[in-house]
Amino acid sequence: MIAFKPTRRVALGLVAAAAATFTIQQPAVAQGIDLAGKTVDWIIPFSESGGSAKWANFYAPLLSEALPGKPTVVVKFMPGAGSTKGANFFQDKKYKDGTTIFGSSGSTQFPYLLGDPRVKYEYGDWNVVLASGTGGVAYLPPDLAKKFNGSANGLKDVDFIYGSQGATRLDLVPLLAWEMLGMKVEPVFGIKGRGDGRLMFERGEANIDYQTSSSYLKGVTPLVKEGKAVPMMSWGALDGDGNIVRDPTFPDMATFKEVCEATDGCETSGEKWEAWKAFFVAGFPAQKMVFLANGAPAEAIATYTAAFEAVKARADFADISKKRLGIYPQMTGNEAKGALESGTNVAPEAKAFVTNWLSERYGVTLKK
């Protein structure tokens, strides 16, 4: 089921996507669908407090303005079962008139990659029209941040509590990272979105958290300014050779790789590191995607692709997206298809490692 994609090839494709432009030929736009007088339902399989909500709410009014006929775009939240509920709902939808779209996240991709028995959806049936890269930031309360000096050595005796959507979701990236650092982090599973994890942190029910970039920029930056949270590290970004480098949205923040290299017992080579990196690549450079349902005709795909291209071409887009989403590639056309490929494939060795780790660490057995 899972095909191997070399890390270097994946990295080169994703980095190239940041600069590449996909152009829709004018005849395709002219023959596109007209959505005048209609309402487009944008299904998000998470709660309204997380990063996916902020991403969709950022794009929704811009997409409404760019689509032919200027339809109303309404973001609808359908949380449950770590996003598989909403994804399964969309899988059952057949294309009708372009008025239903779906917003996927890394937490939707990971159950698919790992063979979660709750997954009834198939990415190959859907039609991607936008892929958005992102990053992530882990942060601490001020009292514990005093124990952090660029390495996690001073945090190894702390008992951490973390609000988690589930170990098979995007949360496996921070959970595995913290374990590699020798930290004792116990997840409280069952929250419906990362925004709920942030609220647990704010209420003092959790003493460590992470958010994707859009949610960190809007929801956590104010806490940092108020002295209620301190950034620990970002997950980083990829350069053209597939190396982990600093996240362009947070260039002054150390990456997990840097913290790992400074922490006793943490290795940035070997089986565990390669597994972490593989799932980071699958979950973040192509972290959020927009799809049309199974059976969408070429003119509908062209219409939505052209609309997202028009949004990206706005004179103010670079400024407003930087503030709301961070500095990451927003991909359409063939670049979006390449991102989808990278986001829904990992090496068999990485999948096997993570599957065993989930079983041993959390008692999670993935059998269909």
Do 109 and 41 belong to one domain? Answer: yes
pLDDT for position 242: 84
pLDDT for position 16: 40
Closest CA to 12 of 239, 236, 344, 235: 239
Report yes or no on 1 lying in a domain. no
Report yes or no on 149 lying in a domain. yes
| Residue 237 backbone phi and psi in degrees, to 5 | -140, 175
Report yes or no on 362 lying in a domain. no
Do 295 and 340 belong to one domain? Answer: yes
Q: How far apart are CA 197 and CA 140, in angstroms?
A: 13
Do 269 and 154 belong to one domain? Answer: yes
pLDDT for position 31: 58
Instruction: Give the predicted TM-score (pTM) of the model.
Output: 0.82
pLDDT for position 23: 35
Report yes or no on 70 lying in a domain. yes
- Rounded to a whole number of angstroms, the distance between the first and last alpha carbons of the chain is 13
Pairing relationship of beta strands 127-132 and 288-292 according to DSSP bridges: antiparallel
Do 158 and 249 belong to one domain? Answer: yes
Do 191 and 147 belong to one domain? Answer: yes
pLDDT for position 95: 97
Residue 140 belongs to domain with CATH number: 3.40.190.10
pLDDT for position 287: 86
Do 146 and 276 belong to one domain? Answer: yes
Do 228 and 272 belong to one domain? Answer: yes
Do 49 and 73 belong to one domain? Answer: yes
Domain boundary among 280, 295, 319: 280
Report yes or no on 211 lying in a domain. yes
* Angle separating helix axes 106-114 and 348-362, nearest 10 degrees: 90
CA torsion 65-105-277-187 (nearest 10°) is 130
Report yes or no on 80 lying in a domain. yes
Do 293 and 267 belong to one domain? Answer: no
Report yes or no on 353 lying in a domain. no
pLDDT for position 365: 87
Counted domains in the chain: 2
Report yes or no on 364 lying in a domain. no
Residue 46 belongs to domain with CATH number: 3.40.190.150
Do 256 and 304 belong to one domain? Answer: no
- Could you read off the pLDDT tens digit of each residue along the chain, which spans 368 residues? 333 333 333 443 443 443 333 333 333 334 589 999 999 999 999 989 888 999 999 999 999 999 999 999 999 999 988 899 999 999 999 999 999 999 999 989 999 999 999 999 999 999 999 999 999 999 999 999 999 999 999 999 999 999 998 999 999 999 999 999 999 999 999 888 889 999 999 999 999 999 999 999 999 999 999 999 999 999 999 887 889 999 999 999 999 999 999 999 999 999 999 999 999 999 998 789 999 999 999 999 999 999 999 999 999 999 999 999 999 999 999 999 999 998 999 999 999 999 999 999 999 988 65
What domain range includes position 113? 7-133+283-348
